[in-house]
Amino acid sequence: MSISEKRAIVLAAGMGTRMKSALPKVMHKIAGRSMIAHVLAIAGRAGFAQITAVIGPESGALEDEIGRQVPGARIAYQEERLGTAHAVGMARGDIEETDDDILVLYGDTPLIRAQTLTLMSEELTRADLVVLGFEAADPTGYGRLILEANGELAAIREHADASDEERRITLCNSGVMAFRGGVLPGLLDRIGNDNAKEEYYLTDAVELAKQAGLRCAVVTAGEDDVLGINSRPQLAQAEAIMQGRLRAAAMAGGASLHDPASVYFSFDTKIGRDVIIEPCVVFGPGVSIGDDVVIKGFCHIEQARIAKGCVIGPFARLRPGAELAAGVKLGNFVEIKQSRVHEGAKISHLSYIGDAEIGCNANIGAGTITCNYDGFNKNLTKIGEGAFIGSNSALVAPVSIGPGAYIGSGSVITKDVPADALGVARGKQVEKTGWASAFRRANAKKGK
């Protein structure tokens, strides 16, 4: 089966009122990525390149997010929430125009795995309808999957309608379903709303398929994989599960995590071999780390590239656009933003480097600041190879420090300094004998 023969319908019109948020539910993030983006990426990896997303009206931000993730994705709108079959019906035009196999996913189940969807797709070569099930630790409230003696799916029984014997079944319905090409339209036509909520349920498709002599099958996944997120506690639960997966993947790839539970990754963090990550480190999106890097405790890193052999932290912050070449060392309370730090440079303590280029083997003293913003524009500071910047220096951009130059401690540098020169810009020191004693005596008298 080719990619062009598979379409995913992603249901994402839920209001998410339990989230207590102005943001659409599926826009909330896990590991730095929106739930809907996770689902779309997983569908793509499983070969479902054609996407139709069913969303609510006035969901411009969500529509934009879908377009960013899958350019060319189709959008359908569900103005009334009348059940899952009704939501799928909003994409009816896309369903009927081809004989694609159809996968129905949910935008609030971001932990589902691509290999699971691949198994469902493969099962469609032998079945007409496939339901994704899971073994529930506590099945209360879930629809039960009733199997025939030969293992085929006979029915989905909602908890309220199940007999005592059926309620003892722990194989439950996740809601995710797949339909062989051409099967779904006819089933949608026959799904009614004769139930307590007067809604159209996609689960009714199983019974209707069996009546039509179609084969229904079950593929199973782990309970965590099909976790649906409807509240902030469930969002936190999903974050914890995702972080566990990312930590395991990092260690399997050759990284050492001293305290895995305290390290937080983004969905796209790239980590080389023999990397050491100490406790309480947070990675935002867009981070790439080379081999043999040491990241000490309490660092925060986002949209940054760190080359082989760098030592970072503790308490360092790398902001977007930070690029560190091989062997760079950053120390305590150093912040880097939109700057390239070349091979072997050292920035050891209490410094801010923004909109700068730091040459190879340059040494930046404690308390150095690149004054990059003039209130309107960001300006560039260039520090040449082997330059030495004394402690507590302010480099007022745009400014260039030549290769091998020295900047005297405490200087405020506003003009370029040539190669191998000494730049000093500070007030002359003056001592006034006895001034402090006289000052204290004068103020003591005022206090009486």
pLDDT in tens, 134-167: 999 999 999 999 999 999 999 999 888 889 999 9
| 217 and 252, same domain (yes or no) | no
Q: Is residue 439 part of a domain?
A: no
The residue from 199, 226, 253 where one domain ends is 226
| 156 and 189, same domain (yes or no) | yes
What is the three-class DSSP state of 62?
Answer: helix
| 244 and 199, same domain (yes or no) | no
| 126 and 146, same domain (yes or no) | yes
Structure tokens given for 376 = 């309107």
| 301 and 385, same domain (yes or no) | yes
Q: Is residue 109 part of a domain?
A: yes
Q: What is the pTM of this model?
A: 0.91
CATH, residue 289: 2.160.10.10
Q: Is residue 434 part of a domain?
A: no
Q: Is residue 431 part of a domain?
A: no
Q: Is residue 413 part of a domain?
A: yes
| 197 and 160, same domain (yes or no) | yes
CATH, residue 175: 3.90.550.10
Q: Which pLDDT value is given to residue 448? A: 60
DSSP 378-407: B--EEE-TT-EE-TT-EEESSEEE-TT-EE
Q: Is residue 441 part of a domain?
A: no
25 in Cβ contact with 69 (< 8 Å): no
| 216 and 122, same domain (yes or no) | yes
| 216 and 344, same domain (yes or no) | no
Amino acid in the structure at residue 100: D
The residue from 226, 261, 291 where one domain ends is 226
349 is catalytic: yes
Print the domain residue range for 397.
232-423
Q: Is residue 70 part of a domain?
A: yes
Q: Which residues of the chain have pLDDT under 70?
A: 1-5, 447-448
The whole-angstrom separation of Cα 104 and Cα 346 is 53
The whole-angstrom separation of Cα 215 and Cα 167 is 24
Catalytic position from the list 159, 258, 300, 349 = 349
| 21 and 64, same domain (yes or no) | yes
**Maximum pairwise Cα distance, the chain:** 105
The residue from 187, 202, 226 where one domain ends is 226
| 254 and 213, same domain (yes or no) | no
Q: Is residue 432 part of a domain?
A: no
Q: What is the Cα 143 distance to its own chain's centre?
A: 31
How many structural domains is the chain composed of? 2
Angle at which helices 35-45 and 114-123 cross, to 10°: 50
Across 191-302, the runs of DSSP E, i.e. the strands, are 216-221, 256-257, 270-271, 276-277, 282-283, 288-289, 294-295, 300-301
Q: Which pLDDT value is given to residue 3? A: 40
Strand partners, 314: none
Q: Which helix (H) or strand (E) holds 6?
A: strand 6-12
| 68 and 214, same domain (yes or no) | yes
| 311 and 248, same domain (yes or no) | yes
